[in-house]
Amino acid sequence: MPVYNEAATIREIVARVMAVPLDKELVIVDDASTDATGTILDHEIAVQYPSVRIFHHPVNRGKAAAIRTGIPHTTGDIITIQDGDLETEPQDLIHLTAPIREGRAEVVYGSRYLAPKEQHLYRSYQLGGRVLSWTANLLYGQHITDEPACYKVFRAEILKSIKLDYDRFEFCPEVTAKVSKLGYKITELPMNYYPRGFDEGKKLHWLDGLKALWVLLRYRFTD
C-alpha cells in the first residue's frame, strides 16, 4: 500500500484491508507524507495491527517508487497494489485473487467498467481510461477495458521479476506493458469504485494520462 498524505483515510482503509477474510500480509510505504499519515502509521496502526509492516521514504519519490520499495518486503504468493484512499473496496480482493489462487490466471486487473454500477466523477478520466485501454490492447494484444485500474493482482514471482523504472504514476502502464511483453494475458473482473474529488485528495491529473500513453508506446518498441 503506497500512501502519501492520506491521514483522513488511512485508519479506515487499513481496517478494511485487515478485515478481508484471506490469509494476507500488509506492507505500507509512506512516501514522505507532509500531514499526519506517518504519525498515525507509527503510533496507531503499528500498535493496533502489529503484523503490518511499515516503511518510510525520507523524501517524496512517487507512487511507483513506494511500490518498488514495498515489493521486496512481501512474502506471499500473490501481490496486489492497494491505494491508501477509499476509492476501492478491499472485499473485492476475494474474487480478484481467486483466479490466481486457483491456478487459472497469472495476472488479474479489476475493471470499473465491468461493474454493475459504473461510477466516474470526471468524464475526462473515463475517456482517458478508455484511450489507455484501447492503446494497450492495440500495442500488446490484450483485451482489457480498464488499463489504469486501481486493483492489479499478480502472481508474486512475476511482479518480482520485473524491473520497474518509473517513480510516479507510471506504474500502471509500465507494468501492463512489461507483463504483456512477457507473454501473460491479463484477466479482468469487475471491481467497485467510489471516486473522490481533488478537494478530497485525488492526485492524478490529465498530464499523468499523457505520460501513461507515452510509457505504453515506449515499451512497445524498447526494453
**pLDDT tens digit at each of 223 positions of the chain:** 999 999 999 999 999 999 999 999 999 999 999 999 999 999 999 999 999 999 999 999 999 999 999 999 999 999 999 999 999 999 999 999 999 999 999 999 999 989 876 555 556 567 788 999 999 999 999 999 999 988 999 999 999 999 999 998 899 999 999 999 999 999 999 999 998 655 544 455 657 778 999 999 999 998 7
pLDDT of residue 115: 81
Q: Which three cell numbers stand for residue 171?
A: 506504474
Point out which residues pair with 188 in neighbouring strands.
Answer: 109
Q: How far apart, in whole angstroms, are the C-alpha atoms of residue 119 and residue 130?
A: 14
Domains with residue ranges and CATH for the chain: 2-221 (3.90.550.10)
pLDDT of residue 204: 59
Q: Which three cell numbers stand for residue 42?
A: 507509527
Q: Map the chain to HEC letters.
A: CEECCCCCCHHHHHHHHHCCCCCCCCEEEECCCCCCHHHHHHHHHHHHCCCCEEEECCCCCCHHHHHHHHHHHCCCCEEECCCCCCCECHHHHHHHHHHHHCCCCCEEEEECCCCCCCCCCCHHHHHHHHHHHHHHHHHHCCCCCCCCCCCEEEEHHHHHHCCCCCCCCCHHHHHHHHHHHCCCCEEEEECCECCCCHHHCCCCCHHHHHHHHHHHHHHHHCC
pLDDT of residue 67: 97
Entry pTM: 0.91
pLDDT of residue 16: 98
